[in-house]
Structure 1
């Protein structure tokens, strides 16, 4: 790869986008096109088209999205569907019109049906209805992935997609209203330890199982795919390993040094019973993750303590 190639990373201020930018720069790619939300409204079709046509990047990574946990998805389904459709349609079609060499769309493992066989293979997509608690986000991501596939088939352009599992790490969103499970649990368990609380209550039964990939590992996979993958078939990106929510809480408790108990509010939803990706295709291409869950949690907690906890 020519290290002077112009690469546009959409959503570069988010957790995933920041990690992708770090990874690109670590490999010597400095000709990066970046724009904050204040500089470019990705829901504005004309603005996005003008930006992409002016910059003419050779490569585009779409890591921009409205994201959130179960609570946020359930509270704002219309917003999640509308904003994500607008963002991805504007970026994908503008890139197609500008003749971008490779466009990489980041989806989500929530695209798979709620009752999907486990682990979830790429061919299981759209074999059933998605999990109701993230249905709107799921439909948006399926639409983006399909649009890339159709552009690949109709126009012969390398518009490709990958479907990451649950991502966590530094620069994650720790907001109590919109955070995903790891930052939510980490913040609450830290607060319980700091205040001497003997119990932390968690949504659901604790039995649902989830797979987690450290954000820098995702960034490594994204950069590898961007420069090496040239097939229409989207690829799962994950670890191929999962834990129950109770086991996750116990892992986080050990990292934080919390010695209290965990209880569960069974009136709250679990989401999908299990969500584990089959990553056989990606492993066969030669890529696999490097960061184990405990190591990733320690790094995330260190970042949380450094950046979000006021000095005592």
Structure 2
């Protein structure tokens, strides 16, 4: 996360120190310059009247949002900046994707409690973002979701409302929020697309989280209808990459597989996986997703959400994913497929087509293939980053196969071949 030492926001309303928000190098020099002392006037080019869809009315809220040619002072605030997707965006920006005139500020729950309206407002007042990538959320695996559906609903609704309203209040020109494929109806026709989000109830296992994420789309449309704001959202499929959650009980399918294989190999024990392995999913590498986020931020001007995924022409079964991890980590021990009544089987199929994305992206864009690390090289696959023990070496060409294939939604639990209802998290 781009965050300096001593970064702190008070629990009560009040202005945090300006230097605390911006990342510093080891020598103490800010990587991101602080904003000017004079506050930007909300909706600087405010004019009466309405604009075409995607631009909207410019007033207290957002105005035209294109960033293809950023203005002199474009400041992008990324909430949830310490998570899987947030760190991927940070790396892509640091590796050269930052355009002239862009200042990027990455924050996490250590910087402000986004369930608290006063702290959220203090953060936005201090940063004065022109654009926001909203990744922050209360997330968890299958069993945590099943046990605390009310908590997932309430906390995420508070976070989302505070972030979107604070962005509106400071005059942010654009907000891109992150949804999840778990928002789609449990009983539906396939393939699914962006128009089907509200066609029926989501899966019962995580309905609190799913409905809270759906409400972002409702809020985005309401902000546009009432204020002309360009607030939109993306729907990623299963994300994997560096800084993932490797908790076996509370993580998602790929990091859970990697951790279990690592433990079985280091202990010389059998590998036990749950379920049939038949559910099929789409997987997208976090750095590929980060580049798509930047494209949405700069080029996508619609309020309607957009699915971000590799293509749907090929999918990966959870069994194939498990076999790829076993092979890539050179595990030669016994693999036991087990069933348990406490493990729920997730959806057998949830393909997320990329028709809308395919129509809009430049033809030159392709998901990275056959490389464990973006840009090539290296024998330690970045997905292994974050294990509390030295990870096994994974040849990049092995794990790359998971990114060559499209997929379907995200399989939440680390019951490795079964899992929960698909869900992806930032």
Q: TM-score, normalised by structure 2?
A: 0.68
Pairwise CA distance, 1:51: 1.8
Measured after TM superposition, the shift of residue 180 of structure 1 is: 0.7
Alignment match, 2:381: 302
Of residues 186, 190, 194, the one that matches 2:266 is 194
Q: How many Å separate the matches in 2 of 1:246 and 1:65?
A: 29
Equivalent in the alignment of 1:8: 77
Distance 1:115 1:293 in 2: 35
Q: How much has 1:294 moved relative to structure 2?
A: 8.0
Counterpart in 2 of 1:206?
277
Change (3 A) 1:289 1:232: same
Q: Distance in 1 between matches of 2:128 and 2:199?
A: 38
Inter-CA distance 299–112: structure 2 relative to 1 (3 Å threshold)? farther
RMSD: 2.4
After superposition, the Cα gap between the structure-2 partners of 1:293 and 1:69, relative to the gap in structure 1 and judged at 3 Å, is: farther
State the match for 1:291 in structure 2: 368
Distance in 2 (CA, whole Å) between partners of 1:7 and 1:300 is 33
2:45 paired residue number: none
Q: Structure 1 pair 301/186, CA: closer, same or farther in 2 (3 Å)? A: farther
Query: The residue matched to 1:188 in structure 2 has which SS?
Result: helix
Contact 2:372/2:380 (CA < 8 Å) preserved in 1?
Answer: no
Q: Using a 3 Å threshold, how does the CA distance of structure 1 residues 112 and 36 change in structure 2: closer, same or farther?
A: closer
Q: Does the C-alpha gap of structure 1 residues 284 and 149 become closer, same or farther in structure 2, counting only changes over 3 Å?
A: same
CA distance 1:184–1:306, change in 2 (3 Å): closer
Measure, in 1, the Cα distance between the counterparts of 2:371 and 2:144: 27
Question: Contact 2:124/2:166 (CA < 8 Å) preserved in 1?
Answer: yes
Asked if 1:247 corresponds to 2:320, the answer is yes
Does structure 1 residue 37 correspond to structure 2 residue 109? yes
> 1:22 is matched with which residue?
91
Decide whether the 8 Å contact of 1:10 with 1:35 is kept in 2.
Answer: yes
User: What residue in structure 1 maps to residue 354 of structure 2?
Assistant: 279
**What CA deviation, in whole Å up to 9, does each residue of 1:223-255 have, x standing for no partner?**
000010111211011112422211111111111
CA distance in 1, matches of 2:257, 2:327: 12
1:214-233 correspondence to structure 2 within 5 Å: 214-233=285-304
Give 1:270 shift: 1.6
SS in 2 for 1:274: coil
Per the TM alignment, residue 306 of structure 1 is displaced from its structure 2 partner at its CA by 5.6
1:257 aligned residue: 330
Deviation at 1:149, TM superposition (A): 1.8
Q: Structure 1 or 2: larger helix share? A: 1
Written as runs of structure 1 = structure 2, the 5 A alignment for 1:92-103 is 92-103=164-175
How far is the alpha carbon of 1:110 from its aligned partner? 0.7
- Pick closer, same or farther for the CA change 1:311–1:120 going to 2, 3 Å: closer
CA distance in 2, matches of 1:45, 1:58: 19
Structure 1: how far apart are the matches of 2:205 and 2:371? 28
How many Å apart are 1:98 and its aligned residue?
1.3
Decide which of 225, 228, 240 is 1:156's aligned counterpart.
228
CA distance in 2, matches of 1:220, 1:20: 7
SS at match of 1:225: helix
Identify unmatched segments of 5+ residues in structure 2: 1-68, 392-426
Pick closer, same or farther for the CA change 1:102–1:188 going to 2, 3 Å. same
* Partner deviation per Cα, 1:60-100 (whole Å, 9 max, x = no partner): 00011122221221232222112211111100111011110
Q: Secondary structure at the match of 2:357?
A: helix
| Paired residue total | 311
Residues 245 and 301 of structure 1: CA distance in aligned 2, closer, same or farther (over 3 Å): farther
Greater than 4 Å deviation, 4+ residue runs: 292-296, 298-301, 304-307
> Larger radius of gyration, structure 1 or 2?
2
